[in-house]
Structure 1
Amino acid sequence: MNLLPISKLIGFFILICNLISLQCTTIGFHEKEKLSKMDFGKIQTVKICTFYEPGISMEEVDDLFSYWNKELALYKIKVQSIEPIEKERPGFYGSDILQYLYSIDLNDKCDRILYLKGRNWKDLIYEGFTLGIFAGIGLKFEIQGAVETRTNTRGYIKAKYISTLQLLFTSPKSTLVHEGYHLLGCGHQLFMEDCYKAIQNVKQLSNQENIEPNFFPTISGEGKKFTNRSQVNRVLKLE
């Protein structure tokens, strides 16, 4: 009996996973019955200080936030892009972007910081290379976005795509929803119940008396609670 090469089996498995992910939020499958029984309190606004790479239009920024808000309406949350600033990408790799975001303090206008990454000629070469690998063995190496887990307050997404193949598996909008869940304290899970609880917890935290006024708090990947901006800024300045 002929067996498929292991690389082909791995590629097939990843392809199936990617196709399945089209039917969920990419952070987990929704559980509508459990969601309907949860109380998320009153509507709250999360203020996002937004930086975007040249080549991304304000119309595209607004469209992304509009789509994100449709998802967050499930939890009585609204995100607001605060004074979007055009900013050249601080480096080629995602780690370069995050390192730059670490250097920016949360001010009294911001609860989270987001960078919208565009596309340049270096990206075109890299995307062609990674798509070639995907076509050959089924592995996708390109990272579409990330959120740091020490405070869950800073992240970036790839807001420009090059090909129909990439858009088949993801899009700037779905990537923003994915990373947006991380900015609210969600991890990765197969089903969304744990994420619902994480969002519920951070909203309940926002109602405590010791919260800095006009600040939507955050909970790190390790469960550390941040009730004011100075706590967040101190942690990220340690490196």
Structure 2
Amino acid sequence: MRHIRFCVLLLLASCTTVGFHRESVRESFEYGKMKTIRICVWKDENVSPERMNYLFDSWNEELVLYNLQAKVSQVKDWKRPGWTGRAIMEELYSAELPEGCDRILALAGFKASDIAYEFASYILALFLIPTFEVLGAVDSPTGSRGFVLAHTASLGHLITGGASNTIVHEGYHLLGCGHSFYLSECYGQIQKLKTTADIAGDSFFPVTHPKSGFITSRRELNYFFLGR
């Protein structure tokens, strides 16, 4: 029993957060009119349309705080590569953002390797070797593409709130927010992003520029990743 409690603590320690809400700070910002972020979804073969819609509903419950809405613009049938999140991100980094989309989000389905990894992490925990279960990720330079594990299939995932919490977490990264204890800085980031979107127009919802400011066109973003 002591070992089980220890494993749970390790799983909790491996969870990072984009921050907790501070309502008084959030309400001090103006977020303007409602804006839509168009998402190209890569849907794994064992992720149902109902599951996809459920996750987007969870995400939009959070986005409404900022007068934002995530809308599925295109759905691509996709098969999750490799055993780890790294293989998914490598594929995302080489992908062109299609016309009519502002972000790419891969919904990775459950694989038997996920359970194997979880059991291996429990064994390693007995020897005080920490492991970290990657439930989702977003590219750091721009926050324009990422993935989430679409099914809650492990104890660690359940403890951290499941897939519906993961998509909210990664959704903040898709808005250019980093990790922090509170979301205070993120509120300002979202306000700047929306102000830039108002100036740039409706053809593309901006992403963070890796140096400073924002990338305001799909063409510029694709050039950054693909060089063309």
TM-score for both structures, normalised by structure 1: 0.84
**Residue correspondence of structure 1 range 9-158 to structure 2 within 5 A:** 26-134=17-125, 137=128, 139-158=130-149
How many angstroms does 1:94 deviate by? Answer: 1.5
The secondary structure found in structure 2 opposite 1:157 is strand
Offset, 1:13: 7.4
Q: Tell me whether 1:235 sits opposite 2:224 in the alignment.
A: yes
Is 2:169 the counterpart of 1:178? yes
User: Any conservation in 2 of the 1:212–1:227 contact (CA below 8 Å)?
Assistant: no
Rounded Cα–Cα distance in structure 2 between residues aligned with 1:60 and 1:138: 34
1:30-64: CA deviations, max 9, x gaps?
11001111100000000000012111111000000
Give the Å deviation of 1:139. 3.0
- Structure 2 segments unaligned to the other structure (5+ residues): 1-5
1:226 aligns with 2:215: yes
Distance of 1:157 and 1:131 partners within structure 2: 22
Deviation at 1:127, TM superposition (A): 2.3
Q: Which residue of 1 aligns with 2:179?
A: 188
Change (3 A) 1:30 1:222: farther
Contact 1:52 1:85 in 2 (8 A): yes
Equivalent of 2:196 in 185, 190, 205: 205
CA contact (8 A) 2:96 2:226 kept: no
Q: How far off its partner does 1:134 sit?
A: 4.2
Task: Mark the CA change 1:163 to 1:17 in structure 2 (over 3 Å): closer, same or farther.
Answer: closer
Q: SS of 2:205's equivalent?
A: coil
Is the CA contact 1:18–1:169 (under 8 Å) kept in the aligned structure 2? no
Identity %: 33
The letter of the residue matching 2:25 is K
Size of the alignment, in residue pairs? 223
CA-atom RMSD in angstroms: 2.5
- The C-alpha deviation readout for 1:67-95, integer Å capped at 9, x for no partner, is 00000111000000122222111332222
Q: Which runs of 5+ in 1 are unaligned?
A: 1-9
| Aligned 8 A contact 1:202 1:217 in 2 | yes
Q: From the superposition, tell whether residues 12 and 122 of structure 1 become closer, same or farther in structure 2 (CA, over 3 Å).
A: closer
Higher deviation after alignment, 120-129 or 57-66:
120-129
Go from structure 1 to structure 2 and tell me whether the alpha carbon gap of 1:221 and 1:190 turns closer, same or farther (over 3 Å shift): farther
Letter in 2 for 1:150: P
**Counterpart Cα distance in 2 of 1:15 and 1:120:** 19
Q: Which amino acid in structure 1 is aligned with residue 66 of structure 2?
A: Y
Residues 108-128 of structure 1 show CA distances to partners (whole Å, capped at 9, x for unaligned) of 210000001112222221222
| Other-structure match for 2:3 | none
Task: Report if the CA contact (8 A) 1:144-1:157 is conserved.
Answer: yes
- By how many angstroms is 1:100 displaced? 1.3
Kept in 1, the 8 Å contact 2:135–2:157? The answer is no
Kept in 2, the 8 Å contact 1:149–1:220? The answer is no
| More displaced 10-residue stretch of structure 1: 166-175 or 225-234 | 166-175
What SS does the aligned partner of 1:61 have? helix
1:3 aligns with none
